[in-house]
Amino acid sequence: MKTKLFLLSLVLCVLSAQAQNFSIKGRITDASQEAIIAANVSLWATDSTLVTGVTSDAQGKFVLNKIKAGNYRLAVTFIGYQSEVILLKLNNNLDLGDVQLKEDAVSLGEVTVSASNVLQRVDRQIILPTESQLKRSFGAYDLLNNLGIARLQVDNFTNSMSVSGGGAVQTRINGIKVTDKEIAAIRAKDVLRVEFIEDPGKQYGDDELGAVVNIILRRRETGGVVNFQLSDSPHTLWGENFLSAKFNYKNSEWGIDYFNKNGKYHSRLESHETFYLGDRTIDRIKEGIEDESPALSFINNLNLTYNLTKADKYVFNAIFRNNLSNAPYQNELNKMWAVGSTESIYSYVNNHTSSYSPALDLYFQHTLPHQQSIQMNVTGTLIHTKNNRKYKEYKDENAPLADIQTLVDGDKRSVIGEAIYEKSFKDVKLSGGARHYQMRTENEYKGSNPTTSKMDQSQTSAFLEVQGKVKDFSYAGSVGMTRAWFKESDEDHAYYTFTPTVRLSYNLKKAGFLRYRFNISPAIPSLGSLTDVEQAIDTIQIVRGNPLLKTYQQFTNSLSYSYSKKQFNANLSVRHQYYDNPIMESIFVEDGKLILKDENQRSFQSLNAELMIGTNGATLFGLKDVLTLYASGGYTRSWSEGLEYSHTYDEFYYSVMAQLQYKGFSLMGQFRKVQNNFFGETIRKNENQTAFMAMYAKQNFQAGIGVLFPFTNNYKVGKERISEVAPFRSETFVKETGQMFILRVGYTFEFGRKHKAGNKGLNNSDTDSGIINMQR
């Protein structure tokens, strides 16, 4: 009897074990322990039947639930890495820990032949550099140029980026915000992937960003690295130089970055301006005269950084920034006369501006159980600015007809605090956060119109977002609210803006990828525009602040289609933007003077279409992977509706970039018909950009020579105001910039560096000095 009971119990235990469901979890990483996002994890039965599958989340983690006991084969795949297959005998819950994938250079090279190396997501593009692209690039800007990312304009001469359609480009390394100059120190071979995020949301701390470029690097754990890059002209004072050093010990990393930019040039301005002042009309011409004292500009930035990371637990990052700038000579000398008259006088403008801006940026991220995380960021900034402007009109310099001086001594203090919470489920991710920006300025205006301005401003916003995917369809939606508040003296205003966002995408597989985005974002008036002061530009024009300015809404609709096959890439994007009651210029006559003042106007809207096509690593004359060629063109039509004016503006723009690469040598040429900027009643015109550069790179060393504007002996930019009250045209010429040669040398020295600093997902900064803008 006992034997029968024992056998019955044994059978029941076996049946119970077989009926029980178990789970398998783990984390997908690369060789440097960096999380791999969106890796495919699939579970197969012994008869090759697919049981279930998931993709790894933002921390590289995955979970397979409700798996019956038995023998299985777990497969992990991701583009650019060797597949990993693990044989499992499952009879209990299983935690695999870190599953490390090895890079597959051969496979990565084949990606460009058989498939696209661009992974499309609902909120971003993830670009995986091919082996060919990495070989043809030394630094990050070389690589970004070779990747040919649609709408992203890369200038690897001045180490900068812009995005067509307007808006700034925020740069990040492993999620931590850095300056565009720090990007220049990255070696291309250290880049794992590039994330390009168009029209980024509130998680990036700036409603007016056009794009975010986040470069994910291989990161090591011990030792240090020192690198520098020098770019200087041999025949004039122009240079952009960068030095960086980082040292690692256990979980900590210390770093110091130094950036220096110098400029010396002679400029002259020529203009034709008309003023309709009621009972009189002034129609005059200004002829530029090169001043004997050249314009000088010096910028020095010094950053001290510290990072403490405990993998899968927390990240602490601290940056102490010190930004110093000094422009002692920004002079303008003109001979001017009325149209039809032979009598002339001289006008002279002398500008001297300087600033010092220290800032402390503290960031903390904590990983919680059950695929949760929280991020916090606090940034405090001080901005001290001095601006000395002198304006004179004279026939005899010793007896001026007009002498106007404006001396501004400004101090601004600000604190930005932000927190974001994220929770990931199987097919959905939820996130929410809040951000507060508090600032105070005290500006003392001395000189011809002395006054003191004290202002307080704050901005508070909160949002909630959900992201998900159903087969080939991805979606994301968020709702938010922003409160803007301003106070100067007895003036006190508060404005509220509703800020929803919708992002949709559909993977057409072999036919391409379709993405749509709609969002409403607030535009907050600057403190410089809000100040209740006025300052004279010359004897006719006065610029006046406006404390009654209101926050306005920006509506953006964008639709893009991307297609990639083998070495061919194409992107077509259409974008419409509408600004409701935007802050634009108003120009009117008061007591015989011309008043320039910002006001909330009726509307501004623009419609933009842009096409980019290109080939990467093409074969030429039997040589493989030697040619990269990209061409893009666009059209923009704008409508500006003011309270007293109505304008339209049409413009075509285009660019071509070609690069030939053989072994360590490369020859690059580019031409850009740069898009002009139109807003309100003013068109700001840019010079067409032409550049050539020859480079040689080997391992950690790079050297080369280039020339900017080789066919232009006098660089110029222009401005046109199409006002009925005060129309004008002007051009500013800078002789030194035309046909300017640049020598570049860079070197990186590493000693056993193997540290993995944690990713920083939040970063805030303050650069608005709060001083009224005199550059009208």
d(CA 657, CA 156): 12
Q: What is the residue-averaged pLDDT of the chain?
A: 83
Beta strands 646-662 and 593-600 are unpaired
Q: How far is CA 328 from the centre of its chain?
A: 29
d(CA 226, CA 747): 8
Distances (CA, A) of 497 to 501, 521, 524, 543: 13, 8, 10, 29
Q: Which residues pair with 102 in a beta bridge?
A: none
Radius of gyration of the chain (CA): 29
Beta strands 513-523 and 534-536 are unpaired
The pLDDT of residue 394 is 93
The ranges of the chain with pLDDT < 70 are 1-19, 31-34, 48, 58, 79-80, 103-117, 120, 122, 132, 136, 164-167, 181, 199, 201-203, 205-208, 218-221, 311-312, 753-776
d(CA 628, CA 618): 6
The pLDDT of residue 588 is 94
Please tell me what DSSP assigns to residue 91.
Answer: S
Distances (CA, A) of 595 to 302, 306, 391, 491, 678: 40, 49, 17, 22, 20
Which strands form 40-45's sheet, in the order they lie side by side? 50-55, 40-45, 70-77, 84-90
The pLDDT of residue 107 is 32
Query: Which tokens go with 313?
Result: 């637990």
Q: How far is CA 296 from the centre of its chain?
A: 27
Q: What is the dihedral of CA 149, 150, 155, 159, to 10 degrees?
A: -50
Residue closest to 534 by CA, chosen among 620, 606, 598, 608 = 598
**Domains, in order of start, for the chain:** 19-100 (2.60.40.10), 223-751 (2.40.170.20)
246, 317 contact by CB (below 8 A) = no
d(CA 257, CA 266): 31
d(CA 284, CA 272): 6
Residues in the chain: 776
Distances (CA, A) of 7 to 17, 69, 545: 15, 21, 92
Query: Which tokens go with 621?
Result: 């004359």
The pLDDT of residue 334 is 92
Element (H or E) spanning 465, and its range? strand 451-470
**Residue in the structure block whose two tokens are 């525009």:** 529
Q: How many CB atoms lie within 10 A of CB 16?
A: 9
Tell me the residue type at 154: V
The pLDDT of residue 367 is 85
The pLDDT of residue 775 is 59
The pLDDT of residue 342 is 87
737, 708 contact by CB (below 8 A) = yes
Label residue 459 exposed, middle or buried (CB < 10 Å: 0-12, 13-18, 19+).
Answer: buried
